[in-house]
Amino acid sequence: MKNLKIGNRIIQEGGKPFVIAEAGVNYENSMETALEMVRQAAANGADAIKFQSYKAETLAAKDSPAYWDTDKTQRDFFKLYDSFSEDDYKELAREAKRNKIFFLSTPFDNSAVDFLDPLVPLYKIASADITNIPFLRYIAEKKKPIFLSTGAATLGEIENAITTIKAVENVPIVPLHCILSYPTKFEDANLRMIKHLKKIFPENLVGYSDHTKPDKAMITLIVAHLMGASVLEKHFTLDKTLPGNDHYHAMDPQDLKLLSENVELVTKILGEEEKRIIDAELPARKNARRSIVTTKALKAGDVITTDNITTKRPGKGINPTYYDLIIGKKILQDLEEDEILYWKYLMQE
């Protein structure tokens, strides 16, 4: 069975999914808000809290058009959210450690890769960088597991990214199904694509990075898990009503709590895959099953026929599986009506 160890947490195919609360830039350049997001993510069941580390000038050219609803260029837009320093990320990592949650941040340039290296147990690569070959190689050199978002990517591009990383270092790679559309319409989520990724990349764990609006029951991510996602990532905010980049399709602490409860329940009820009798069934197996029982009083030497036996609960006597086998056998001792038959009562030939 495929598995990946992150710190003391084992991510295993079919096991409890690894849940990432993607803070992104929803802290709005406020360290106080960012720290509270760390605490709320931990308190409501996330395994990890993830931020984004970039500088607008190294991310986008000056005239790069946006691909979402804004009148700004990408560079001007990202300048609104790139004020955190290396020390700020270190403080967030310390707060995550205090709250027993993994700290993650997606790097968008080599400098971020370097200063995040001692802070993160793995690297998350954004969908937009799946064809950024030199960047993939640089991250691979850090020899850490990689979660690779695959939004708007062809299978060929995904395979090439994985091959590129593996050529540098044989690190674990988890492709994440993702739809690069904000917010993703439910009809565009295409969660069955997770099964396709599992089929195409059978050696890899697979995950899901979600951009749909939170549904009331928080079942979208659970369905993704049931499709085979071992890692679940969703944007996180303290207030979904705030204007801004990602608040409108993010989950809030209450949503995260519900998701965590769903994860716990689903993990419990999925249980084992191999069909077998479990301990909880043993009393029922004994008392709800039937035994062969006499329908009338019998004397020693009488022959068992279909007229003098039937089947009744409990199942502690001769199993009805052997009904045909005992027809014609003789009774060794007197038996009362409605008495359970045992093998010791029958003459063995």
Antiparallel, parallel or unpaired: β 231-235 and 207-210: parallel
Query: Does the pLDDT of residue 68 top 70, yes or no?
Result: no
Q: Examine the domain organization and report whether 239 and 319 are in the same domain.
A: no
Q: Examine the domain organization and report whether 253 and 110 are in the same domain.
A: yes
Q: Examine the domain organization and report whether 243 and 323 are in the same domain.
A: no
Q: Examine the domain organization and report whether 228 and 308 are in the same domain.
A: no
Burial class (CB in 10 A: 0-12, 13-18, 19+), 310: middle
Q: What is the pLDDT of residues 18-36, one digit of tens each?
A: 999 999 989 999 999 999 9
Give the residue-averaged pLDDT of 47-74.
86
Look at the block and give the residue holding tokens 């959210």.
81
Q: What is the pLDDT of residue 79?
A: 85
Q: Examine the domain organization and report whether 250 and 334 are in the same domain.
A: no
Q: Examine the domain organization and report whether 77 and 30 are in the same domain.
A: yes
In a domain, 275, yes or no: no
Q: Out of 236, 270, 304, pick the residue that ends a domain.
A: 270
Q: Out of 224, 252, 270, pick the residue that ends a domain.
A: 270
Q: Examine the domain organization and report whether 64 and 129 are in the same domain.
A: yes
Cα–Cα dist 44/295, whole Å: 61
CATH number for position 289:
3.90.1210.10
In a domain, 1, yes or no: no
Q: What is the pLDDT of residues 175-186, one digit of tens each?
A: 999 999 989 999
Q: Examine the domain organization and report whether 29 and 163 are in the same domain.
A: yes
Work out how many domains the chain is built from and give that number.
2
Cα–Cα dist 312/288, whole Å: 9
Q: What is the pLDDT of residues 175-230, one digit of tens each?
A: 999 999 989 999 999 999 999 999 999 999 999 999 999 999 999 999 999 999 99
How does residue 288 score in pLDDT terms, banded at 50, 70 and 90? very high
Kindly give, in sequence order, each residue whose CB lies less than 8 Å from that of residue 342, ignoring residues fewer than 6 positions away.
317, 318
Q: Out of 270, 292, 317, pick the residue that ends a domain.
A: 270
Q: Examine the domain organization and report whether 148 and 167 are in the same domain.
A: yes
How does residue 316 score in pLDDT terms, banded at 50, 70 and 90? very high
Q: Examine the domain organization and report whether 88 and 190 are in the same domain.
A: yes
Query: Does the pLDDT of residue 65 top 90, yes or no?
Result: no
Q: Examine the domain organization and report whether 52 and 151 are in the same domain.
A: yes
CATH number for position 24:
3.20.20.70
Give the residue-averaged pLDDT of 248-268.
97
Q: Closest by alpha carbon to 14, among 342, 272, 220?
A: 272
- The domain of 315 spans 280-345
Q: Examine the domain organization and report whether 250 and 209 are in the same domain.
A: yes
25-39, 61-75, 78-92, 134-148: the lowest-pLDDT one: 61-75
How does residue 1 score in pLDDT terms, banded at 50, 70 and 90? low
In a domain, 232, yes or no: yes
In a domain, 49, yes or no: yes
